[in-house]
Structure formats: structure tokens, C-alpha cells
Chains A and B, each alone.
Chain A
């Protein structure tokens, strides 16, 4: 049995320790916002927070997260910060096919909570682990910088 916190709830799983966190989240807890784009840690579509750090859940064996705090996109969906990101992505036109977007939003939230006023270069660096094939990134960069402005004061609190 492996015990961890998932979106604020204590959970237990009997999945084998080598099972990927990604599969456990998606299959056992039916949280579909965490996507699989590569399964090899190269695209960021499966981004989650593990103890507040942005991680690719496809690379994490469930056995390694005993006691950890896992947050998926579903876990931040009700927050003020998410609302700002949601509006900013919409306003800036950062969403196309959408498959990269939950991961991008997680990466954006992670970046802004560490650096509430990032420069363009810092935003590009911050989302560089997240692949997007549709947008060419610029409108996503705009979305993040808009979110930084709109949510001024919100990001540091976390």
C-alpha cells in the first residue's frame, strides 16, 4: 500500500510500486486533466505538482511518492490563480488543440508562484519543458505575462 495526498485528500493505492503516477492518477482516480504526450519526460503534458514542485508524472513511479503531496490540474481548478490563468489564456489566444494546455497551465502556475513578475525570457525558460505543437508558443507567453499582471499580488501567497 502506498499512501499519499492527492488534491488535498489522503489516498491509498495498491498499484505496484513501479506503476507510473500518471496512470494511477488517470486510471484509478479518473482525473483526466493530466495528459500523456510522450511518456518519456519530454513534453510536459503530464505535469503535476509533487510537494509543490512541477514534475512530469510519467516519470514518477508510484513507489517513490509515499507521503508526498500531489496536485493535479483538478486540484487547482477552483483557485483564484487558476481563474486568472484561465482568463489570460483565453484572452491571449493561447489555446488551440488544447492537449498541452493543462500541463502548460501547471507550468505557468509553477513559474508565477516562484517569479510573479517574469520577463519574456524567463517565461520562455519557465515553459520550455512543455511542448506545444500548435501555437508556436508566443500567444502562450503572452498569456503568462498577462496572468502575471492580472494576478499581481496573488502569486506570492501560495
Chain B
């Protein structure tokens, strides 16, 4: 059974947005700030030839901000600029080369102010006005922790840093506004149609029927096309309205790398009290996220980061506090895992280091603290469903021959001076769907099935297939319920004129939440089925109340369900060059129930490739507000030579509120990669690291230090 979109993709004939041309279409290019923080004093435009126009803040019919959560992100900056690359105006016209020439001639005078460039500086200044954008705190009372610490045998403090991660979806961002007399149609590469539609209604100050959003085939998203496209949509729509032509904005790779959102760099501070045997008595975590210049989705990312700050462990007397901090750098945003990868990298690393102190194998140490069914979560929620982690770990220990390898590697490493082998593990989970009551209060998903006179059934939902395969999985669910051949189910690219708001394509929610609604809708349609008659059924999200989530106190069930995973990774480190070679990767997962084996394997392999690379390969840095890696090779995402084949297995553990028991899967697969690869490198070198990515430079530095100490 082929994927729904296979034919068009394999032949390249499926048009992505950059393949589209419409009548009366012009291009847009953005003039961007070259200053990190400052006040715009004047704007001087060159003489524009006939047919070329400039569009800026003055042309925006509505308020000048991109509607996300806060109102702090201008569509076109007109007073202050807050990062290098911030859009100030757009030039539009027919010829891109002429536009680039004109762009060079725009002169903008900006009075420069003292910028905050790094997370470290922001932490120092976190009490200054405007620096802390959001913060949350929860868990054990600090006095209690202090008194525990007083009696502890020792206190371990660690600081851990994670870097940027760039999505590198292979199709750069692109958006087209098609100008019509009575409506603006915005079409492009995107994950969240209604986020864009709401942003457009706000920016154009127009009615619901005046804008329409259509998804184009989307060449990868990974979160990068979650909130960012809303800004591009505002740019092209405002421009189209102003010049009364259709406007296309497509980034080239370097523009995309420099100005689009990335995974938040983070700093995590752990303070853990241990008894004489190395058992954990208490733990506090302070977590700092670098938001960049606008808040965007950062507060929500912080929530997920904090909710995962204890990993898969039941830690006695746990306390956590987190901050979203402003820097004058490119805004960071959604990326597969959404704050969880930073937290899991940190906690897995810390637990591994604690196990060294206790002189116990890291995996044995971690297993002592594994949460079990019925245990409370760190927010006083409950792990009410069965947890298969022990089975999955045991199975993976066998498959990978972990214990034997661990001893063998140590022996071999003594013989081999240059190449050192290591094996590491990671244990992780992912909360499926929106945090807390988000599905009930904010999203309120609605799905529709439409049957035509000739009994063809179409899915009408606002979720995007960006490669993750929902065309296939969701069509399968509907086909099965209706007893129809899968090939006959239609699932056109969504268009807000046709589809209700079933929510954004994020948070590993599509299969579990939208899939369940579709299953119910299909059941309903079947029960009402009338051959040869047009029919329509709608289903609305129903919330199953558990322990109510309270965002203020950070208590209650943060997620309706959790998916789980175990990774084991083997590496070989070249101590001369610091290069790390992946040797073997093993992975077990519980995602409830798999809807399509091939789609699931694709998520595992692709997610792990990104997650592993986040741990040792992909490095992006910013210097005085400028992103330093402007090309794919500067940045270094994995090629086919970096990845090895992955032995993975899925454990069935059906979840009552998912279709056939399915839970979320898309983000989970990324999360375990980085911590497992770090643990494997540490095992090889017998050296702890306090950061990812563990690049060759980091490795060489640590080897020098070690030599110095032992010297």
C-alpha cells in the first residue's frame, strides 16, 4: 500500500510553493536589520523603477504585530529593532535580481543601543526590565530541601548547556499571497493553517471570509513551520493588499538559516543531595531558555522543558524553576520535542554523573528511580496507564548485548590508544498533545468527514502532512472504520475554506487526538450511511477529566498520556581528531499502538538521526547577534555516511483515548538520541561532559584537560 502522496513526490511533479507561478505575480525581498538592538531614526529608499514598490509598517491595515501569544513581534519593525535580521520593509517587483540590487541601496539609520547577546549575560541581568519574559516554579518547598541538604552526605552541583539546533527542513520556507478583489489567499509551506489565518485576520484587520489559507506540499517542518510562517504570511498578505498583486516570498538557504527560529539554547543547573551510598535525597533544577528577541512560543516551550526536568524518574523532594530570557538574537521557537530534548539531555547526563559518584553502572542507577504505574508525576498528576519501561530495557539489554559489550569495550580501550569504544543509554518519555487543558480550552478541535453523491469520503481537517505521513495514517483509520478501500479515501491538502479547525500540526497530537476524532466521525458516518446521498459528519473534542491542570501552581495532570522510549548507542571515538563514529543504535518504544509500520519506522529513523546529531554533530553559534553558520555544510546535519542502521522495536500498550490505542510518536523519537550519544562518548573516554553537542573540539579540549590533571 503506497503512501497517498508517493507518486507526485517520487517524480518531483507535486508542486511545492516555489514551483508555483500565478498570474500577475511579483516577488518580495526583505530588508533586514543589521543592528542587534537600536532605534530606527530614518529610512531612505532608492528611486524605485516602475512596477517596484516598498511595503512597510505603514501599509499594515491592522496592528503591527504577528499574532502568536504576546504582541511583541512586529510584522515590520518601525521603531525599535531587536535582532540582526529583523524585517523592516519589503521590496516587491517582478525581477528578483533587480530587487536584490535595490535592497543594497536602501539606507536605514539606526541608533545602536547596548544589546544582550548571550544567555549568560541575560541570566546576569534577569531582574532588569524586560529580560525575564516568563518564569515558573514548582515542587518541594525550598526550606524542606535546605534542611535535607544540611543532613546530606554530599551535594553535587552541575551546570549543563545545550546549543542551538537548526531544523534544516530540506524545503526552505516559502509563502505566496494570491491577490483577488474579494479575498487574499495565502498558500505555502506550513504546519498550522489556523495560526496563520488568525494572524492574517489580525494584521489585515479583516473579516473571517476575507482571508483563506491553503497548505502547499510541505518539504519538512519539524516545528520550524509551526509559528514562523505566520510572520511570512503577514508579509506577503500585507504586500499583496498594498500593491494589488500576488506576492511570493521564498527564502534561499542562507536567509533561512540566519533568520528563522531554532531550538532554544538552554542552561540547566542541578543541585542534588546524596546520602553516603549515593542515593538521591533531593534535587533542584534551575532552567534558563534563550528566547531570542521575541517571546513567540517560548513560555510554552519552557513549560514542557520544566515538565520533563525530572526525566522518567521519581526523585524524592524535587524542585524546579525556569526562566525564558530575552536576548537580542534571532527568535527561537518550536522544534520537534519542544523543550523536552534540552531537559532530557540534561537530566540523563546528570543521572549518569551521579551514578559515577555512587560507583554504580549508569543504567542500574537510573532504573532504581524509574517511575511506575500509579506514581505521582512531578506536578502531582498521576501516571495512570501501564508503563513498560522495565520490559523495554530488559529486551534492549539483550538485543544490544549491553553488559558484555561494556566490559569488552573497557578491555579493548586499554589496548587501543587511539580509538576508544563506548556504549550509552537514554530513558525518556514524551507527553502527548498540548500541555494541561490546552486541548479543551484553546484548541477545541473539530473534524469533518464529507461524503459525495458517488460515495467518496474526504477528510476535512486542518492538519498538515509535512512528510510525517498523516495522509496515510489518518486515511487508514477512516478507511478501516468505514470498511472502504484505503485508496478510495480522499485527503486533499487543507484549505481553511473547506476544513474546520482541527488544531495545529504540533505536539505529537495529530494521530492521537485528531485520529481519535476521525475514528469517531467515521463510526458516526457509517451508522448514518445512505448510498448515493451527500452526507457530512462533524466531531468535536471531548476532554477526559483527570487531575485538573493548574498553570499557576503547576499542578495536576500535565498530559493525558505519555509515550516512552529506551535507546542504546555504541560509538567509537578517535582520540587524535575527536571524531565520533556511530557504530550501533538500538531503540525500543511504546507509542500505544502503531497505525502504519512504515510510517512509524520513518519517524524512528528520521527522529533518531536528528536527535543523535543534536548530541554530537550539529553546531550552530551566534556571535554578537550574528548566526555564524550560514550554509548546510557549516552547520553539519548528518549525511548517509553519518547514520547507521537502527534496530528498533515497538511495544504495544494501547491507550484508551487514542485511535486503536495509538499515542503520539513524532517527537518522542528525537528525544533519546543526544543523551544516549553523550553517554556513549563518556563511556568511551571515561570523561564527563557538561554540554551538547559534544563536538570534536569539545572532546579534544577535555582530553587535554584530563592529560593536564593526570600529567
Contact = CB atoms under 8 A, between A and B. Distances in A.
Interface of A: 26, 32-40, 42-43, 45, 73-74, 77, 85-86, 89-90, 93, 95-102, 105, 120, 123-125, 127-141
22 contacts: A37-B171, A40-B631, A42-B631, A43-B170, A74-B12, A74-B13, A97-B170, A97-B218, A98-B8, A98-B217, A99-B16, A101-B9, A128-B639, A131-B639, A133-B167, A133-B170, A134-B170, A135-B602, A136-B604, A136-B605, A136-B606, A138-B646
B170 A77 contact: no
B645 interface: yes
Given A33-B13, A93-B601, A101-B10, A131 B170 contact: yes
A153 B235 CA distance: 53
A36 B18 contact: yes
A45 B253 contact: no
A95 B14 CA distance: 13
Contact of B12 (A96, A101, A120, A137): A101
A43 B467 CA distance: 18
B605 A42 contact: no
- 9 closest Cβ contacts across the A-B interface? A33-B12, A97-B467, A98-B9, A99-B219, A136-B609, A102-B12, A136-B605, A93-B598, A96-B467
Interface string B1-15: 011011111111111
Contacts of B19: 26, 32
Interface in B212-251: 217-222
B617 to A, nearest CB: 13
A32 B15 contact: yes
A35 B16 contact: yes
Contacts of A129: 639
Contacts of B170: 35, 37, 43, 45, 97, 99-100, 131-134
B12 A133 contact: no
B402 to A, nearest CB: 22
B220 A134 contact: yes
Interface in B599-635: 599, 601-602, 604-610, 631-633
Contacts of B5: 95, 98
Q: Which bracket fits the contact residues of B?
A: 35 or more
Interface in B249-294: 252-253
A130 to B, nearest CB: 8
B640 A140 contact: yes
Contacts of A45: 170
Nearest to B609: A136
A137 B16 contact: no
A29 B172 CA distance: 22
Contacts of B599: 93
A44 B432 CA distance: 35
Given A32-B15, A90-B3, A105-B10, A137 B643 contact: yes
A138 B253 contact: no
A97 B643 contact: no
Contacts of A102: 10-12
Given A95-B3, A99-B219, A133-B169, 10 more contacts: A37-B172, A37-B632, A93-B599, A96-B467, A98-B9, A98-B219, A132-B640, A133-B220, A136-B638, A140-B640
Contact of A40 (B7, B12, B172, B632): B632
B469 interface: yes
B12 A73 contact: yes
Nearest to B167: A133
A96 B606 contact: yes
Which secondary structure dominates where chain B touches chain A? loop
A137 B609 contact: yes
A133 B646 contact: no
Contacts of A124: 640-641
A124 B220 CA distance: 22
A135 B599 CA distance: 10
Nearest to A38: B253
Contacts of B15: 32
Contacts of B604: 136
B168 interface: yes
A141 B598 CA distance: 14
Contacts of B12: 32-35, 73-74, 101-102
Contacts of B631: 38, 40, 42
B253 A37 contact: yes
A45 B632 CA distance: 13
A90 B1 CA distance: 8
A128 B3 contact: no
Contacts of B8: 98
A84 B466 CA distance: 25
B62 interface: no
A134 B253 contact: no
Contact of B9 (A40, A43, A95, A128): A95
B637 interface: yes
A52 to B, nearest CB: 19
B468 interface: yes
Nearest to B630: A40
A74 B58 CA distance: 45
A91 B252 CA distance: 33
B467 A134 contact: yes
Contacts of A96: 220, 467-469, 602, 606
Contacts of A95: 3, 5-6, 9-10
Contacts of A137: 605, 609, 638-640, 643
Contacts of A125: 640-641
A28 B466 CA distance: 28
A96 B49 CA distance: 43
B252 to A, nearest CB: 5
Nearest to A91: B2
B605 A135 contact: yes
Contacts of A42: 631-633
Interface in B9-38: 9-16, 18-19
A141 B640 contact: yes
Contact of B10 (A38, A89, A93): A89
A92 to B, nearest CB: 8
A99 B171 contact: yes
Nearest to A86: B10
A38 B632 contact: yes
B215 to A, nearest CB: 12
Interface in B442-500: 466-469
A60 B608 CA distance: 34
Nearest to A107: B640
A134 B16 contact: no
Given A45-B170, A138-B645, A131 B632 contact: yes
